[in-house]
């Protein structure tokens, strides 16, 4: 499906609703050509500004979904609003429901063995017909060489007949993993869903919906895991301010120049 796109910093995002995202993933699975889905948020935009491989992953993704209210605010300020946020933690359950209804095979990559197993147990309790055909919780390094024919995990995914691969390695590992393994796991469609398995397993509590709506989900998560998340939220993520300012300047300057050119050409058009 062709959609309009909004680019913030180096990261493009598709202007789709939650329902449209699900339908697009449906079509990717039906096409049988693979592909992968990313869910960039503010932190990911900052990371991609400094990481060429991450930028490549975002540029090649089949579908890029805006994860977070601040991303929607920035898109609106650019004059190209996104219809709604579509975060991975909200996407996983309806996707698994759809997989159960359509008979898709699902493979999990990432999370700890305990979290992966508990997420599977809870999902099967809700959707008994869901087919989770494999789980891989081994450590993976983006610099790890991949032999001809793919890695061991990509071979397992192909042999399992997976239609969907939920990749829960966190950014930037999951994006690099999908970029590296995309061709080796065809026809499976990979989904970079971050901490979605942790949320599904109940290992990490989700922020109240009202906090998410007003853009304070980061504060809730920081309060839950201050040691792990303090640097990300308090030091790294404020870099989004100059990144967005540069995007805003480029966007509106380009529009102004285009408007000036069109005004200058208007008399000639009227004369002809």
> What digits encode the pLDDT tens for the residues 204-230?
888 888 888 888 888 999 998 999 999
Query: Where residue 145 falls among pLDDT bands split at 50, 70, 90?
Result: low
Task: Note the pTM of the prediction, 2 decimals.
Answer: 0.90
**How confident is the model over 50-79, as a mean pLDDT?**
96
Taking only the tens place, the pLDDT of each residue in 15-31 is 999 999 999 999 999 99
In whole angstroms, what is the distance from residue 109 CA to residue 126 CA?
Answer: 21
Pairing of strands 11-14, 5-8: antiparallel
Share of the chain above pLDDT 70, in %: 94
**How confident is the model over 61-85, as a mean pLDDT?**
95
Query: Where residue 255 falls among pLDDT bands split at 50, 70, 90?
Result: confident
Domain boundaries along the sequence of the chain: 5-207
Would the pLDDT of 2 be above 60? Answer: no
Both tokens of residue 267? 């008399």
Match domain 5-207 to its CATH number in 3.40.50, 1.10.1060, 3.30.2310, 1.10.10. 3.40.50
CB-CB contact of 235 with 86 (8 Å): no
Q: Output the pLDDT for position 270.
A: 64
Q: Output the pLDDT for position 85.
A: 93
Both tokens of residue 60? 């090649």
Both tokens of residue 188? 């499976």
Any idea what the Cα angle at residue 221 is, between residues 143 and 51, rounded to 5°? 30
Closest CA to 243 of 49, 13, 41, 72: 49
Share of the chain above pLDDT 90, in %: 75
Alpha helices in the chain (DSSP H): 18-31, 42-50, 52-60, 69-77, 88-102, 113-126, 152-160, 173-181, 196-201, 209-213, 217-224, 226-230, 240-271
């Amino acid at each position: 499906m062709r959609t309009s796109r909004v680019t913030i910093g180096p990261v493009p995002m598709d202007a789709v609703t939650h329902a449209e995202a699900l339908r697009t993933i449906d079509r990717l699975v039906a096409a049988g050509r693979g592909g992968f889905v990313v869910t960039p948020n503010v932190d990911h935009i900052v990371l991609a500004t400094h990481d060429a491989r991450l930028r490549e992953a975002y540029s090649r993704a089949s579908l890029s979904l805006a994860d977070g209210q601040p991303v929607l605010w920035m898109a609106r300020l650019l004059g190209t609003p996104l219809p709604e946020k579509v975060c991975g933690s909200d996407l996983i359950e309806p996707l698994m429901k759809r997989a159960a209804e359509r008979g898709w095979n699902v493979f999990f990559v990432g999370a700890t063995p305990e979290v992966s197993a508990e997420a599977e147990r809870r999902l099967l309790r809700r959707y008994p017909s869901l087919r989770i055909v494999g789980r891989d919780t081994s450590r993976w390094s983006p610099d790890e060489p991949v032999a001809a024919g793919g890695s061991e995990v990509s071979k397992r995914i192909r042999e399992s007949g997976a239609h969907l691969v939920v990749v829960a390695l966190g950014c930037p590992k999951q994006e690099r993993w999908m970029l590296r393994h995309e061709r080796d796991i065809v026809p499976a469609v990979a989904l970079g869903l971050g901490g979605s398995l942790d949320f599904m397993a109940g290992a990490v509590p989700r922020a109240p919906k009202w906090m998410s709506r007003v853009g304070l989900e980061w504060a809730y998560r920081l309060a839950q895991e201050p040691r792990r998340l303090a640097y990300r939220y308090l030091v790294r993520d404020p870099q989004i301010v100059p990144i967005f300012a540069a995007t805003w300047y480029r966007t509106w300057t380009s529009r102004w120049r285009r408007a000036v050119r069109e005004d200058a050409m208007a008399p000639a058009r009227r004369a002809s």
